[in-house]
Amino acid sequence: MYKTGLCVLDCPDSCSIEVKVKDGHLVSIDGDTRNPLTEGYICGKVRSQMNEHLYGEDRVRHPLIRCGTKGDASFERVSWDQALSAIAERFNAIRDNYGGEAILPLSYGGSNGLLSQDNTDARYFRRLKASRLARTVCAAPSTRASGAMYGWMPGVSFTDYAEARAIIIWGANPSVTGIHLMPVLQKAKKEGAWIAVVDPRRTGVARIADLHLPLRPGTDLPVALSIARWMFESGAADREFLAEYACEVDEFAERAAAWSFDTAAEVAGVDPAVIAELAERYVTAEPAVVRCGWGLERNRNGGSAVAAVLALSAVAGKFGVRGGGYTMSNAKAWNLDASIAAAEDEVLTRVINMNKTGEVLLSSAPPVKGLFIYNCNPLATLPAQDKVRRGLMREDLFTVVFDQVMTDTARYADVVLPATTFLERPELARSYGAYTLQRCKAVLDPVGESRSNHEVFATLCELSGLAQPDDPVGEDEIINTILGASREEKKCGALYRKREFPFRDLGQTQFN
């Protein structure tokens, strides 16, 4: 039997998928065409490795409680009732004895599904008055830069790159990640588009480009500023557009004035003539698009580099035509905020920078006494790994890890909870490459006793005495709540209770 679903891994493509299922188990998985960007194929990671991820020996199948030393992964199997009662009791005790801020929820983008984060989980932690988390480990500088410059304006959809006559791929490598942009680039190239790639490495996409600028890592900022300076000085800047839509143009031009093609090329270790060619081809093509990836933000001047690259579309006046402008994350194409389904206002407790998790676990005041980790594997992904490990070793720290597999972090947990994968639960997800919003039902039976995030956090609210009678709990109710409100409505608890939000116009986008 074939079933349709979607992939909600942290990837801009958000593929629509077709899954061959036998007796509730995965037989095979591939792309379908409901999301036009997917075009019937998916990446090797999901196509050939999901079977091992689902049914391999690392899969967590039952709730577990620690029976040995932290870190040695000695656990005994317990029932869900035992595990969740232990968590509810312990977290309530931590709140009562040390204050809610002694509890830290730690999560990231292990799943980009709107049902898996920031709704029922947020309800539980807000009502506990737990510490809040700043999800800084990835995309924090670029999100801040793009948000400050363009607000919630969505960028060019990947599907519209075929319309562009010049395409700059800056700090992204779609030949290995977000792979569905590649055929669109190839199509655009066939139809005469000129493609440039700015990347220190000669990546797969650089090999199909007309121009490759192999700058030194961390020199994107002077190179982008030199292009902006040239646009201002040569008259290529769209002064009319800037006068109408931009602010602080003179300040930006002043910053850019410090960098000529020659000086930028010297620090970037490239030929100034290549920067000049890139600038000229970009300004003369119409439409022209810049795909800004996250590669350039991984540097101490990363946020400024992203801002300078994104500014080029405005300085050159590239907006207003299909295929013209920039793309960073197109999640903004949807006026949605999953946290409305938290049905609880944000509580202004302390904010923990997740990049400092190790330090915080070892020395914060008040100390973190309860740690709930889900949708992420901090021991493998956060900086200062040794501090994170030493923090997790603390005997007075009660750690819950809710994950699909026995991660490095889970080995240090007091309680491990088995989580469903995106194939084993209903989901609602928006793409951040093309403009798609997709909803699907579970396509496989959950392995072992694994449960979805919202199911677990709703039960924890019940067991902790934190549930309210009209909380949205079932998948349909949560999805309808998310679709029925807009992100501006930050007072989600009060608004949810009054049901005062209207169903919004979701825009001219595809809903599969």
Q: What's the token pair of residue 369? A: 């006494």
Nearest Cα to 458, choosing from 432, 445, 477? 477
Say how many Å lie between the first and final Cα of the chain, rounded. 20
Contact region with ligand SF4 (CB under 6 A), list: 9-17, 126-134, 391-399, 494-502: 9-17
CB of 9 to ligand SF4, least distance (A): 4
Q: Which residues pair with 401 in a beta bridge?
A: 373, 416
The span from the CA of 323 to the CA of 245, in Å, is: 19
CB of 33 to ligand SF4, least distance (A): 13
Q: E strand or H helix at 436, and its extent?
A: strand 436-440
Residue 50 within binding range of ligand SF4, rule CB under 6 A? no
Site for ligand SF4 (CB under 6 A): which residue of 14, 142, 203, 421?
14
Based on CB atoms, which residue is closest to ligand SF4, 18 or 337? 18
Q: Beta strands 415-418 and 103-107: pairing type?
A: unpaired
Based on CB atoms, which residue is closest to ligand SF4, 131 or 421? 421
Residue 46 within binding range of ligand SF4, rule CB under 6 A? yes
Contact region with ligand SF4 (CB under 6 A), list: 8-16, 191-199, 476-484, 504-512: 8-16
Contact region with ligand SF4 (CB under 6 A), list: 39-47, 49-57, 207-215, 305-313: 39-47
Residues 353-372 interacting with ligand SF4 (rule: CB under 6 A): none
Site for ligand SF4 (CB under 6 A): which residue of 5, 13, 270, 443?
13
The span from the CA of 341 to the CA of 212, in Å, is: 46
Q: Which residues pair with 149 in a beta bridge?
A: none
Q: Rounded to whole angstroms, what are the CA distances from 334 to 294, 337, 348?
A: 21, 9, 26
Based on CB atoms, which residue is closest to ligand SF4, 46 or 423? 46
The span from the CA of 286 to the CA of 291, in Å, is: 15
The span from the CA of 94 to the CA of 116, in Å, is: 25
Using the structure block, give the residue that is written with the tokens 């577990």.
64
Based on CB atoms, which residue is closest to ligand SF4, 13 or 220? 13
CB of 369 to ligand SF4, least distance (A): 36
Q: What's the token pair of residue 386? A: 């040794």
- Give the number of residues in contact with ligand SF4, rule: CB under 6 A: 11
Q: How crowded is the C-beta side of 425, counted as CA atoms within 13 Å? A: 28
Based on CB atoms, which residue is closest to ligand SF4, 158 or 496? 158
Site for ligand SF4 (CB under 6 A): which residue of 43, 264, 311, 434?
43
Site for ligand SF4 (CB under 6 A): which residue of 9, 278, 290, 379?
9
Based on CB atoms, which residue is closest to ligand SF4, 260 or 438? 438
User: Are the C-beta atoms of residues 350 and 502 closer than 8 Å to each other?
Assistant: no
Using the structure block, give the residue that is written with the tokens 């951040």.
432
User: Are the C-beta atoms of residues 169 and 141 closer than 8 Å to each other?
Assistant: no
Based on CB atoms, which residue is closest to ligand SF4, 14 or 173? 14
Nearest Cα to 186, choosing from 198, 195, 177? 195
Site for ligand SF4 (CB under 6 A): which residue of 19, 26, 42, 315?
42
The span from the CA of 335 to the CA of 498, in Å, is: 20
Based on CB atoms, which residue is closest to ligand SF4, 331 or 342? 331
CB of 333 to ligand SF4, least distance (A): 16
CB of 426 to ligand SF4, least distance (A): 17
User: Are the C-beta atoms of residues 14 and 8 closer than 8 Å to each other?
Assistant: yes
Site for ligand SF4 (CB under 6 A): which residue of 11, 371, 428, 437?
11
Using the structure block, give the residue that is written with the tokens 């006494």.
369
Residue 242 within binding range of ligand SF4, rule CB under 6 A? no
**Three-class DSSP labels, 491-504:** CHHHHHHHCCCCCC
73: left (phi over 0), alpha (psi -120 to 50) or beta: left
Site for ligand SF4 (CB under 6 A): which residue of 7, 360, 442, 482?
7
CB of 440 to ligand SF4, least distance (A): 13
Q: What's the token pair of residue 187? A: 């199509």
Contact region with ligand SF4 (CB under 6 A), list: 10-18, 78-86, 111-119, 366-374: 10-18
The site map against ligand SF4 for 173-212 (x = CB under 6 A) is: ------x---------------------------------
Residues that bind ligand SF4 (CB under 6 A): 7, 9, 11, 13-15, 42-43, 45-46, 179
